[in-house]
Amino acid sequence: TAFFHGGLTEEIYMALPPGYTPKEGTTLPPNPVCRLKKSIYGLKQASRQWFLKFSSTLRKLKFKKSHSDHTLFVRNNDGKYLAVLVYVDDM
């Protein structure tokens, strides 16, 4: 479900889902599309958007991104060391 909360920075449009019916009295133009405001499962950009949101949240929590592995975030606070390693969409 994390993919559903990923915001989109670029404009992405998709064909209307099968079975979609407009409100009564409304007509649709030929080949209608809808603009996505949030990421959906199966979208090619979904995992990238999720990672951008996740990494920015970790940085706000004072984690630092590793130079050797861009999916490794570390935080050292008063001698307590915490490492978070992200693999695809798993921690």
SS3 13: strand
User: CA Rg, the chain, in Å?
Assistant: 19
State residue 41's pLDDT score.
64
Q: Above 90 in pLDDT, residue 61?
A: yes
pTM to 2 decimal places: 0.58
State residue 1's pLDDT score.
54
Q: Are 8 and 36 in contact (CB under 8 A)?
A: yes
Average pLDDT over residues 37-65: 80
State residue 18's pLDDT score.
85
Rounded Cα–Cα distance for residues 48 and 74 (Å): 20
